[in-house]
Chains A and B, each alone.
Chain A
Amino acid sequence: MNPFQYTRSVGAAGAIQSLVKEPHAHFLAGGTNLIDLIKMGVVVPERLVDINGLPLKAIVKIPGGLRIGALATNSEVADHPLVLQDYPLLSLAINAGASPQLRNMATVGGNMMQRTRCSYFFDTTMPCNKRSPGSGCGALEGYNRMHALFGASDKCIAVNPSDMNVALTALGAVVHVKGPKGERKIPFGDFHRLPGDHPEKDNTLERGELIVAVDLPDASFNKHVHYLKIRDRTSYAFALVSVAVALKMEGNMITDARLAMGGVAHKPWRLPAAEVFLKGKPATGDNFKQAAKIAMQGAKAWPYNQFKLKLAPNAILQGLSAASGLVS
């Protein structure tokens, strides 16, 4: 590992200033992704600003929802009684990711900032516009089995690897950030971005902005939920495709639907057209198939991930069936 300076931060304002002043400084939270990237030489920081001492761990009820501190660990969130009761989808998604040890370290804010697992991003001998802007994309004509179906550009076809992000997208979370210009809120769907011409930017944060909390709206999607993750082994692997489903139902009638996919785009991929289609329709196999078809409109595969064009709609169908209790 390259040497770097270390600052143990005692206040958010100081931590933010450190990042504004030093272009090669990084916040350090759980470290499960960042330390790995530093070891691989993908990230070469001059300073790590350790924010673990900041009081951002609380999980508290707020009017109309739940506020999760950015430094709450993944396991603290997944095991929290209020999350299990009101937002079981979030718990399912978090527990589908990583390993127990990693979930004990990784934080909510850090998970949101997790970089792609594209192997060309991790391999410093290969071109990658995300790691080294302008160097090209190794995956475009390489082994692109894990890569995107939606929203890719000719600069980058990588996907966001987080499971938690897929659930937070479906649930309509809101991100609170503090920065050099003050505080602001970002709807979860606007937090991550598509690669476009700047794949080096994973999200819409500005330099020095610190995630302080994530708010979940009211607990109305707490019953008919499912998180389906398809991967190369049963546990502890990144998603080829994942689907987060949350339904509101009256009898067999779907009164509201939230759908998002992981492993298919540079950001957690919400499926608004399929949500609109399902609203007010009965939970039937035919409707679910139609919703999956609608969700897949505009999908574009690469030579090695053609299988995802079949896998993804089948995963949507299975996720919807499981969430609604439909036995297919």
Chain B
Amino acid sequence: MSKKPDHPSDGEDAFSGSRRDFLKQSSLLSAIALTPATVVKAADNQWDEKIADVFEKVPVNLEVNGVKYSVKVEPRVTLLDLLREQLNLTGTKKGCDRGQCGACTVHVNGVRINSCLSLAVTNEGKKITTIEGLAHGEELHPMQEAFIKHDGFQCGYCTSGQIMSAVALVKEGRTHSREQISEFMSGNICRCGAYSNIVKAIQEVKNSQS
């Protein structure tokens, strides 16, 4: 099998494959002699997927990092899962998946939000920016440069969320003091404790702009 079901973020193939694989594995491999031909045929022709497409999925048009997408998603799919699993934009991370850690922070119409608590279907017509959309070609965003310069991360898992939040923070003008930066960055948790360097990176970007 060429797909890697353990890594659903590897592509939309794996995403759409799960139900089909289950049908094949459960009914074909374990009870092949008893399986009616129609079930095997249904699995092979991906009928279940097609039926699901018609009845379960909702079309959504949105723009991510300047690219327009028209996709179909189940209503329960979050913006985070759409980005990672259907659009292959895995820079946005899934941490707690409950709005408590901030690893999934993206900008929607210029405003920072937790993409794990936003259903993809509610983003119809919206403009989304993820960590992949910050750099201009090979030229990093000043906040990305500053995070590297000040060592604003260790393991790096929270970093894309931290940077997306930090870019929004500077735009919001909440950078008057160390305390204010800490307060308005509190939605981004860093288990490694890189906070002091993150604050330094933010202060540098703020100072270079004023």
Binding site for B on A (CB under 8 A): 1-6, 8, 28, 31-32, 35-36, 38-40, 48, 50, 52, 75, 98-102, 104-105, 234-236
Give the CA-CA distance A88 to B183 in the complex, in Å. Answer: 18
Chain B hits for A2, CB < 8 A: 76
B76 touches A101 (CB 8 A): no
Check if B184 is an interface residue, CB within 8 A of chain A.
Answer: yes
Choose from B97, B111, B165, B183 the contact partner of A235 (Cβ within 8 Å). B183
* Contacts beyond the supplied A3-B74, A6-B121, A235-B183: 5 A-B pairs with Cβ under 8 Å: A28-B119, A39-B98, A99-B114, A102-B99, A105-B113
Report which of A4, A99, A102 forms a contact with B76, defined as CB distance below 8 A.
A4
Q: Which residue of B lies closest to A237 (CB)?
A: B186
Q: Is B56 an interface residue (CB 8 A)?
A: yes
User: What is the CA–CA distance of A28 and B122 in the complex, to the nearest angstrom?
Assistant: 9
> Which of B76, B118, B174 counts the most chain A CB atoms within 10 A?
B76
Identify B102's interface contact among A1, A3, A99, CB under 8 A.
Answer: A99
CA distance A210 to B193 in the complex (A): 43
A105-B114 contact given A3-B56, A4-B75, A36-B99, CB 8 Å threshold? yes
A48 and B75: CB pair below 8 A?
A: yes
With a cutoff of 8 Å between Cβ atoms, the chain B residues found around residue A40 in the complex are: 98
Given A32-B117, A105-B118, residue A8 in contact with residue B124 (CB < 8 A): yes
| Cα–Cα distance between A293 and B169 once the two chains are bound (Å) | 41
Name B residues whose Cβ lies closer than 8 Å to a Cβ of A: 56, 58, 74-76, 78, 97-99, 102, 105, 111-114, 117-119, 121-122, 124, 165, 168-169, 172, 174, 182-184, 186-188
Given the known A-B contacts A3-B74, A3-B76, are A101 and B114 also in contact in the complex, defined by CB atoms under 8 Å?
A: yes
Q: Which residues of B contact A101 (CB under 8 A)?
A: 99, 102, 105, 112-114, 165, 187
How many residue pairs link A and B with beta carbons under 8 A? The number is 83
Residue contact A100 to B122, C-beta cutoff 8 Å: no
Of all chain A residues, the one with the shortest Cβ separation from B77 is A1
State whether A100 and B169 are in contact (beta carbons under 8 Å apart), knowing that A28-B122, A50-B121, A235-B186 are contacts in the complex: yes
Known: A5-B75, A235-B183. A102 touches B114 (CB 8 A): yes
Contacts of A48 on B, CB cut-off 8 Å? 75, 119
Pull 14 A–B residue pairs with CB atoms less than 8 Å apart, ordered by A.
A1-B76, A3-B76, A6-B75, A40-B98, A50-B122, A99-B186, A99-B187, A100-B112, A100-B184, A101-B99, A101-B105, A101-B113, A235-B186, A236-B187
Closest CB-CB distance, B107 to chain A, in whole Å? 10
Q: Indicate which residue in B113, B182, B183 contacts A104 across the interface (CB closer than 8 Å).
A: B113
Question: How far, in whole Å, are A99 and B188 apart by their CA atoms in the complex?
Answer: 8
From B111, which residue of chain A is reached at the shortest CB distance? Answer: A104
Residues of B within 8 A of A3 (CB): 56, 74-76
Q: Which residues of A contact B114 (CB under 8 A)?
A: 32, 99, 101-102, 105
* Contact (Cβ within 8 A) A35 B186: no
Q: Are A36 and B117 in contact (CB under 8 A)?
A: yes
What is the CA–CA distance of A168 and B171 in the complex, to the nearest angstrom?
Answer: 29
Q: Which 10 A-B pairs have the closest CB atoms?
A: A99-B187, A6-B75, A235-B186, A236-B186, A1-B76, A101-B187, A35-B117, A101-B114, A104-B111, A105-B113
The CA of A104 and the CA of B168, in the complex, are separated in Å by 11
B129 nearest CB across to chain A (Å) = 14
The answer to whether B76 and A105 have CB atoms under 8 Å apart is no
B60 to chain A, nearest CB (A): 10
User: Which residues in A have their C-beta under 8 angstroms from that of B165?
Assistant: 100-101
Residues from chain A with Cβ under 8 Å of B121 in the complex:
6, 8, 50
Q: Which residue of B lies closest to A235 (CB)?
A: B186
Question: Given A3-B74, A4-B75, is A32 in contact with B187 using a C-beta cutoff of 8 Å?
Answer: no
